[in-house]
Amino acid sequence: MEWSYWKVIMRYGHVGLRKEVSVARHLIKPADFTLLDVITDAQHMPGVKAKGILSARRITQEAYIIGSREEAENFYLQKLKTFSRMTS
């Protein structure tokens, strides 16, 4: 199966009244996904604010690998993923 790689900048909420955290997420999707498909999927991820997609663009596989490693070190995402597992 062919894949496409995306960098999506999202606004996350739940960090205080009228506050947000913008985080770059690196996503892997099937090759036939369009920009609109990626934005729709990203909008429904846990913690993303309404109208929370700031930008989305297709990237290379190498950029995806580097970005995924940086995501693993992001403190906010670590806490978000831990909280999601605790509430499930």
DSSP per residue, 18-80: T--EEEEEEEEEETT--HHHHHHHHHTSTTEEEEEEEEEEEE-HHHHHHHHHHHHT-HHHHHH
Q: What pLDDT tens digit does each residue of the chain (88 aa) get?
A: 899 999 999 998 766 667 788 889 999 999 999 999 999 999 999 888 888 999 999 999 999 999 999 888 877 777 766 655 555 5
The pTM assigned to this predicted structure is: 0.80
**pLDDT for the residue 40:** 96
CA distance 9 to 52: 8
Per-residue confidence (pLDDT) for residue 20, from 0 to 100: 81
* CA dihedral sign of residues 34, 67, 28, 48: negative
